[in-house]
Amino acid sequence: METLGGFSLVDLFPSSKLVGLLTGAHSSLRKVHAAVDVILEAIISDHAARRSTSSSATNSKKDGDGEDVVDVLLSIKENNDLGIPFTNEEIKALILQIFLGGTDTWTVAVEWAMSELMKNPWVMKKAQEEVRQVFNSKEKMDQLPYLQLVVKETFRLHPPGPLLVPRESRETVEIDGYQIPATTKVIINAWAIGRDPQHWTEPETFHPERFLDSSVDFKGMDFQLIPFGAGRRACPGIHYGISIINIVLANLLYHFDWELPDGITHQDFDMSEKFGVEVTRKNDLLLVPVPYIPHHPE
């Protein structure tokens, strides 16, 4: 992940073979590609072998029973459902995309959400009161509007990937006085967009209430907030990921009260970032959980 997401001069000079040779970036990427290819090929071969040996049993089942995404992709390949060439290379690319898209995304998001809540204890108190009221009254988990604001504000300040997947311009365009030629690789800085003072009041402040009377959402339709990208190539797992984050956060806030280690106050709580495929905390998040025992009326 460090090889794929860390800073490299090759990203600044992609057409220079010399830079790639001097930095060793090309060699590192080839090694990573070879290692990953072996793993993906083994996954596909294993599924293909199981499909072959259990074909009779599979035929007696309903379509889709006991299948995972690799089985579905192999079925598409075998049946030529797409009407275009679909080989193991395409299957490996899709598997890798799914893997990279989900690697650490929700764990990093939860870590940043908890960090912001510890840094802003009044927000923690409000979110915790909402969660415990809903859980105690047996209401639905989707009736947690303030928690959803907390998640949205977390993604504004801490998008899963600070730099979105590169795009290529189809034609020459001008952006803020800069001419972007056709076929230029363009990288969108979602981290900077979420902190742009032209669109956000006090952009560096964690303030979930900013979304109370706002229709801005992170589903890809509002370009001032695109932590998951936009358009047809936006993150396909956004709804699944958000659901997981809401569930994990709600359970953490319901079952525990949280304290900082001795000697640390919320004013001096460290929020330093470390850049990579994702922007993670520079230092590990260390918190003290205190079990919460609800008092139910007799």
Q: pLDDT, tens digit, for every residue of 150-162?
A: 999 999 999 988 8
Q: Which is higher by pLDDT, 156 or 141?
A: 156
User: Which residues have C-beta within 8 Å of that of residue 178, sequence separation ≥ 6?
Assistant: none
Fold of the 105-291 domain:
Cytochrome p450 (1.10.630)
| Mean local confidence (pLDDT), 77-99 | 82
Q: How far apart are the first and last CA of the chain?
A: 53
Contacts 24+ apart (CB under 8 A), 220-223: 223/193
What is the per-residue pLDDT for 1? 53
Q: Taking 60 as the threshold, does the pLDDT of residue 221 lie above it?
A: yes
Label residue 252 by pLDDT band (50, 70, 90).
very high
| Mean local confidence (pLDDT), 105-122 | 94
The closest alpha carbon to 266, from 128, 110, 124, belongs to: 124
Query: What are the DSSP calls for 76-92, one per residue?
Result: HHHHTTTSS---HHHHH
Q: Is 235 annotated as a binding residue?
A: yes
The closest alpha carbon to 219, from 285, 151, 278, belongs to: 151
In the chain, CATH 1.10.630.10 covers: 105-291
Tokens of 261: 């280690």
Contacts 24+ apart (CB under 8 A), 85-89: 88/41, 88/44
What is the per-residue pLDDT for 60? 44
Could you tell me whether strands 256-259 and 288-291 are parallel, antiparallel, or unpaired per DSSP bridges? antiparallel
**pTM listed for this prediction:** 0.72
What is the per-residue pLDDT for 61? 46
Mean pLDDT of the chain: 84
Q: Which of 45-49, 82-86, 160-164 has the highest average model confidence (pLDDT)?
A: 45-49
3-state secondary structure 16-44: CHHHHHHHCHHHHHHHHHHHHHHHHHHHH
* Cross-strand bridge partners of residue 273: 281
Query: What are the DSSP calls for 61-74, one per residue?
Result: SPTTTT--HHHHHH
